[in-house]
Structure 1
Amino acid sequence: MTQTDIPTDVPVATAPAPMAPHKDLKWIGRSVKRVEDPKLLRGLGRYIDDVVLPGMLHAVVLRSPHAHARIVSVDAERARNAPGVVAVLTGPEAAARFAPLPDSGPAPDKHVWRVLAADKVRYVGEGVAVVVAETRYQAEDARTLIDVTYDLLDPIVDPLEAAENTDDLVHEALGTNVAYERTFTFGEVAHDFATADVVVRDRLRWGRQTAHPLDTTAAIGDYDPGTGEMVVHTNSISMTWLAFGAAVALGIPSNKLDLRPYISGGSFGSKQFCWRSTVTAAMMSKITGRPVKYVEDRLDHQLNGDQHGSDRYYDVELALMRDGTFRSLKIDCVDDYGAYIQFGVGSHGNALAQVTGPYRITSTEYRVRAVLTNKTQQGAYRGFGADAGNWALERIVDKAAAELGMDPVDIRRRNLIPPDAFPYHIPSGNMYDSGNYEPVLDHALERFGYAGWREKQALMRAEGRKVGIGIVTANERSVYGATEFWFWFDDKDVPVKTTSTPEGVSLTVDTVGNLTVTLYSTPFWGNSSDTVAAMLVAEEFDVDPADVTVVHHGTKGGLPAAGPGGSRLTVMLAGAVTGAAKKIKDKLLRIAAHDMEVDEADLEWVDGGYQVRGAEDARRSTADLAMLAYLVKTALPAGEESGLAANFVYDHPHLTMPKPDRSDLGSFYPCVGHACHLVAVEVDPETGAVDILDYVAVHDSGTLVNPRSYDGQIVGGTAQGVGTALSEELTYDAGGNPQVGTFWDYLIPTALDVPEVDFGHEQTPSPITAHGIKGGGEAGRLMAPGALSAAIDDALRDHGVRVTELPATPERIVGWLRKEET
């Protein structure tokens, strides 16, 4: 079937065929120590900055001090003549030699995104030139010798004003600052609002934040002028998808580009592609003919990275009945994308995948305006828009409960999707594969001691203490489908309707039965992919995960692999490993049956080998069969080749196409987990400080693979959610100048700020994935902002304060209190 033959009228409301029943599991579900830990704890992990190649040079980037200005000239002669300098490349020179960076946003030809600005700079920190020298110190010194003449332009900073302004433009070729605008209507929204008893409205502001992993984005380009081949050592976490785009930008055939992965000291979305660092290092290696290392410093990462999160203004309306039953939801969102829009409006796809959360809401209207301003562009940050979407939904639910005089627990319970409704299709079309939400709620309430906390709260408030309790019941979509990259546009404007988001693995059993799994995604970046892969292989072959070797392959000659992102990798690795293991075990079965002269149907897999049913002494272990497979060709069935190896590429577990009129977006994020977070806080009205007194998180992400690692994901995500709710914010002044340059200004929570999280788990297996696994990598961050906002509301309810803007910093809280007092 060709791409153009793919039907667009596939029914979207049908349930997928369920997977085979899940067998008794030996390793999956056990808390296993990470196989990555020994090398990391002993300092033996190899990060990009640890790599030194013979003859390696070092690159630094000259950045714009202006938010908006035309580049009149760039004079780099003094820098080129500086000690140790090997090459200098300016923006106009780069534009003449290299293609723009990959861009999946709307109209990429009208807002061209390059590694260096060519015509004008569009935010403070945008690259203007690259200097390469024998040492980093020499490159840093030479950078100060480059003279750039700018013609200053009025900065465009306020997205609400920018949306209406057609005189001052970030990109003149677009003719507007609104890069994308569309309203999606799902169901009978007008009717549901007209017949509702109550309509609750809210205006909300989700502030800009960013990822700050321990190590920044980095790459080493190593070009061979003789062969025309380019090796790039990179800490990107999306290898295969990066390769073809980088090849185009560099003007190198994709089969001559090899991206080699390295462990990463965290990502949180910041290393989703690493376009800038990869292309910067590679293009300078191509120019010099020597290896070139480029490592972001902290300021590079903050001002010129591609991981700034959502920056949104919401108008939200909820229609409901007086008994608290929800009917319809309207969302109107203005999103400040900064100067470019590399991922399009994909973060709103994440929101639309679970737009109505865990609630029975029959219709939805969603309007998005993606506005360009003179700020650093958005990228991927943990949650990728689903975080803001969850917060906006939970805020309006809390406001509805307050207006109806209902307990926030009761209004949620009344509207939860019942277990017999799964698989459930939300109004936008996405399918929720499975769920049982009330047990999660009940588990969380019991673990938190909700009734007891309400009693303690009353006593503490009687003492004058401002104590509040907050709750959220929220979903976590996982395992994205490629249709979300293009359903934003009409069919006629979509050149290729991509539907594949694959993940490949290779599995090998050696001569004595030892197992090696090769991954084509990144090594460790926090999610313990090696441990997951080892556990999955161990589950299939009845070995210890510690005995499974995990290796990583570069992109050249590798299998397709989309890598992590969207909480997908564990699900996808499970499908890929299961598929590869089946190929090998089927071959082992054929060899065993032939060797023991029995029918294949008479054999069963038991404890790492095949044995005759009912005859434990008649068996062949994996090692026995591997020896035959490699060394005794005459013992193999006719036509069977020697060796034991298999490749398997696993694709999306359940994808349906959007309708042509986009009244239904189809199923594209179907593995949907659920969580309930409860928190108690105390607010000091004099200082605005928020003290977290108790925190409970109960999650259901299908079958748990490694509870030990998953609990780490939850507490890490919750820590980021605490920062989102209370302290972290990237702000700009009226001139487009960043007001945050260091960690004195960008306040990441410390260990003293993050509460001890009391974990609980429920397990509702997915019917569409191997072992019933769902993704859970963004756990915590999708829930904590809403829970903390609700708790602050509750603490300050006597003052009429509601959290409508994040982060709820001490200054903001005091300001809200003073406003209510006047």
Structure 2
Amino acid sequence: MATETLQWVGRDIKRREDPALLTGSTTFTNDFTVPGLLHAAVLRSPHAHARIRSVDCSRARAVEGVLAVLSGAELAEIIDPMPRFCAEEVVQHAVALEKTRYAGEPVAIAVAETRYLAEDALELVEIDYELLEPLVDPVAAALPGAALVHENLGTNVVYERTFTHGDVEGDFARAAHVVRRTLRWPRVCASPMEPAGAVCDYDASTGRMVVHSNSNMLNFAAWVLSGTLRLQPELIDFHPMYTGGSFGSKHLTAKAISLAGAMSKLTGRPVKFMEDRADNLLANDSQAPDRRYEAALAIDADGRFLSLRTDVVDDYGAYFLFAVAGNTNAMAQTVGPYAIGSCENVVKAVLTNKNQQGVFRGAGSEVHNWVLERLVDGAAQELGIDPIDLRRRNLIQPDQFPYKIPTGNIYDSGDYPAVLDKALAHAELDFWRAEQARGREEGRYIGIGLAAAQQRSTYASTEFWFHNPGPYVGMSATPESVRISVGPTGGISVTLFSPFWGNSPETVAAQLVAEELGIAPEEVSIGYDSTAHGLPSAGPGGSRMTVMLSGAVRGAAGKVRDKMFQIAAHSLEASPEDMELVDGFVRVRGVADEARRLSIADIGMKAYWMKHELPDGMESGLEGTFTYDHPYTTLPSDDRTDLGSFYPMMGHAVHVVVVEVDIHTGHVSFLKFLAVHDVGTVVNPRSLKGQIRGGIAMGIGVTLMEQIRHGADGSALSGSFEEYLMPLAGDVPNVEVLHHETPSPFTAYGVKGGGEGGRMVAPCAITTAVEDALAPFGVRIDALPITPEQIVGWAAS
């Protein structure tokens, strides 16, 4: 369907989700209550690494209103270890058994009539610890003879592999110049508005458990957590909740569901467990990547990029939930927007005494973007080439798409030079360079940064498994489903099977149904259903929902439309092939006679209550369901020289950032922020701009403020928002967002995902801008965050 023919796709539509959110009528997990509800809380270890000699809960159990207090060993009699998406035997319990492996790990759990009583009881739990050597530095933890986080592994290096694609050795040997950088990316926390939580209600008489949780992967969670809860998957009914922010951190909410579920099984009553803010900062399911890179870019005499090497030591913390998916994720776009012929990625995953790493907006690809753009800026400096010209001469060209990168992933479409040109046309670089020169004469330091980077979207689940040796064994489906129903009075309702996650699924679905059925979006009702009644759904994540909903809605709407055409054609004594939908009526194509048309309400009435007016053999009712599978994916080769196409809907963006740096206070202020994005056909520009701006805010955070810090003994130093800094509204500038559209050839309407794009690019451009501002001081930035203390120190040295 050509973009020019679309009526609703591409139009600014107010978000349907906003009224409930803005008026406070939305029920979040912490708001949810049922009769007889109990509340659980956990006692957290103050020690990063300690053996648990004994746990005495007797005094805690005596507190009035407390129903149970359990040690980890006692809890393990009710539930099994938590799930993991890795082959390695890194076992994690909801409450620690023999030792605690990071500061903040649960060591006891209480359930009581109120959360206050549960927490009061936990203060009476007595634990005898034997302190062990804490492992804080992953490089030291990887050395032979280091203390072990998990004794059964015999090492803290839980994964180590070199992925080589193409003639890396040959390309580096023939390079005229090699740029090298040692780079450091910090661990940060998603800090969602509502931390992870769950209300679990177990019925021993039926063996069923009803779960209300802000997990964003309902079907996956029901499946994998059934093993933890010792229940059959079909006996767990997950109800979608407003997620309250996730950014990847609530892909499972495994701890919250495990804790609430276990205590409901024990007490026979519904139990709520909610993280508080300290819980979330110290011990959530998924903190962001924590990496040290040795990176190198090989370049020929003409300034053409030949090959890329990255060698990463990745601090995964104490557990290994998603294996090395944050590194293999980046291999979907490892060469960025550049025509680089070969690449090598060395991945060493190390366990330390910290909370576990998982996935967070960008899922590691944003880190790799930053590394690559640091190399490109370094190359421009070392070769004396304008950084814009250097990028332009290396961009993949429009006539090369679909483009296969060395790892095997496919880039579906793009026009990268056009995106760069659009950015430059709106960047006012001549003005800002003049301002920069004038400012330096006045003792002011203005910097300009430009970055070009990718945003992969619409993952295939092979990315969670191809890091294992071949042949390929693992999931290969990531479907999404919808149900569209037309009622007997013509009302149209859509049922989704993934929760609201912040990415406007209700708005998108309404627009798409309106597009397919020739009605207005406000005529579409949107609802959600639980896993007990649900169709296959992989849920949000990996910038996939708009792409997948587009395909699912088109498929379901097509079934509904076909049935309406058959009913109308039967009534009008015409052929279904001659029917068309126009303004809520089905009519004979091209015939405007009102006598030769039926409204959707007319057809609905016939479908439900007038069996004799239906074609022979047609079932009563009018609905269509459709499960949309990944539109384009291929499996990896057995030797992993080709990882397959696993993230092919490839977005692209150029950001231009202008900052002023106060060398006396270290404060960085934004004078201009321009973002030009290509995410294929834009469904709703208004909501997409919001997603891009939100991602940019998070990019500002990781670049200038945010970091989960630990003491030398592994103690957590970022347990509240006093110590963990995030951007406030005043720290985020007005961001000018522009779009350039190159539709995907693989998806319905040509849509690509765009939810992570702002964070994918912003750190690259901001870092360059700050470095440019501090160029008179010879500053080279190789680590984030860029703190005020560092800036003042650089300027003073």
Q: Secondary structure at the match of 1:616?
A: coil
Q: Secondary structure at the match of 2:569?
A: helix
What's the offset of the Cα at 1:187? 0.5
In 2, are the aligned partners of 1:328 and 1:364 still within 8 Å (CA)? yes
Distance 2:649 2:235 in 1: 36
Q: Which amino acid aligns with 1:49?
A: N
Pick from 181, 185, 189 the counterpart of residue 164 of structure 2. Answer: 185
Distance 1:546 1:599 in 2: 31
Q: Which amino acid aligns with 1:412?
A: R
Pick from 272, 277, 281 the counterpart of residue 260 of structure 2. Answer: 281
- What is aligned with 2:334? 355
Pick from 475, 479, 491 the counterpart of residue 498 of structure 1. Answer: 475
1:32 aligns with 2:52: no
Distance 1:603 1:36 in 2: 34
Q: Please say which of residues 326-335 and 33-42 is displaced more in the overlay.
A: 33-42
In 2, are the aligned partners of 1:166 and 1:177 still within 8 Å (CA)? no
In 1, are the aligned partners of 2:297 and 2:307 still within 8 Å (CA)? yes
Pick from 476, 492, 497 the counterpart of residue 515 of structure 1. Answer: 492
Q: Which amino acid aligns with 2:622?
A: L
Pick from 67, 75, 94 the counterpart of residue 86 of structure 1. Answer: 67
Distance 2:760 2:144 in 1: 33
Distance 2:212 2:398 in 1: 47
1:208 aligns with 2:184: no
What's the offset of the Cα at 1:168? 0.7
In 2, are the aligned partners of 1:250 and 1:282 still within 8 Å (CA)? yes
Q: Secondary structure at the match of 1:752?
A: helix
1:568 aligns with 2:539: no
Q: Which amino acid aligns with 2:683?
A: V
In 2, are the aligned partners of 1:156 and 1:736 still within 8 Å (CA)? yes
Q: CA RMSD in A?
A: 1.3
Q: Secondary structure at the match of 2:327?
A: helix
- What is aligned with 1:130? 109
What's the offset of the Cα at 1:556? 1.3
**What per-residue deviation string (whole Å, max 9, x for no partner) do you get for residues 175-204 of structure 1?**
110111100110011111111111010000
Pick from 745, 763, 780 the counterpart of residue 785 of structure 1. Answer: 763
- What is aligned with 2:577? 601
What's the offset of the Cα at 1:23? 6.8
Q: Which amino acid aligns with 1:562?
A: A
Pick from 702, 716, 733 the counterpart of residue 755 of structure 1. Answer: 733
Q: Secondary structure at the match of 1:615?
A: coil
- What is aligned with 1:433? 412
TM-aligned CA distance change 1:676 to 1:36, over 3 Å = same
Q: Which amino acid aligns with 2:385?
A: M
- What is aligned with 2:751? 773
Pick from 701, 716, 741 the counterpart of residue 723 of structure 1. Answer: 701
What's the offset of the Cα at 1:21? 5.0
What's the offset of the Cα at 1:633? 0.9
- TM-score w.r.t. length of structure 1: 0.95
What's the offset of the Cα at 1:238? 1.0
In 2, are the aligned partners of 1:165 and 1:177 still within 8 Å (CA)? no
Pick from 652, 660, 682 the counterpart of residue 674 of structure 1. Answer: 652
In 2, are the aligned partners of 1:208 and 1:730 still within 8 Å (CA)? yes
In 1, are the aligned partners of 2:470 and 2:637 still within 8 Å (CA)? no
Q: Percent identity?
A: 53
In 2, are the aligned partners of 1:106 and 1:180 still within 8 Å (CA)? no
Pick from 560, 563, 568 the counterpart of residue 584 of structure 1. Answer: 560
Runs of 4+ in 1 over 4 A off after TM superposition: 20-23
Distance 1:576 1:116 in 2: 40
Pick from 142, 145, 154 the counterpart of residue 175 of structure 1. Answer: 154
What's the offset of the Cα at 1:614? 2.7
Distance 1:167 1:723 in 2: 34
In 2, are the aligned partners of 1:205 and 1:312 still within 8 Å (CA)? yes
What's the offset of the Cα at 1:165? 3.4
**What per-residue deviation string (whole Å, max 9, x for no partner) do you get for residues 99-138 of structure 1?**
111101231xx32111111111100000111100111111
- What is aligned with 1:660? 638
What's the offset of the Cα at 1:599? 1.9
What's the offset of the Cα at 1:559? 0.8
Distance 1:312 1:324 in 2: 28
Q: Secondary structure at the match of 2:142?
A: helix
Q: Which amino acid aligns with 1:168?
A: A
Describe how 1:331-370 pairs up with structure 2 within 5 A. 331-370=310-349
Q: Which amino acid aligns with 2:576?
A: E
In 2, are the aligned partners of 1:235 and 1:262 still within 8 Å (CA)? yes
Pick from 535, 542, 552 the counterpart of residue 518 of structure 2. Answer: 542
Distance 2:216 2:574 in 1: 47
Q: Please say which of residues 689-698 and 425-434 is displaced more in the overlay.
A: 689-698
1:391 aligns with 2:367: no
Pick from 129, 145, 148 the counterpart of residue 166 of structure 1. Answer: 145
- What is aligned with 2:685? 707
Q: Please say which of residues 449-458 and 439-448 is displaced more in the overlay.
A: 449-458
Distance 1:138 1:483 in 2: 45
Pick from 773, 791, 797 the counterpart of residue 813 of structure 1. Answer: 791
1:557 aligns with 2:547: no
Q: Which amino acid aligns with 2:502?
A: G
- What is aligned with 2:439? 460
Distance 1:93 1:23 in 2: 64
- What is aligned with 1:14? none
- What is aligned with 1:73? 54
- What is aligned with 2:22? 41
Q: Which amino acid aligns with 2:680?
A: G
What's the offset of the Cα at 1:167? 3.7
What's the offset of the Cα at 1:452? 2.1
Q: Secondary structure at the match of 1:604?
A: strand
Q: Gapped runs of 5+ residues in structure 2?
A: none
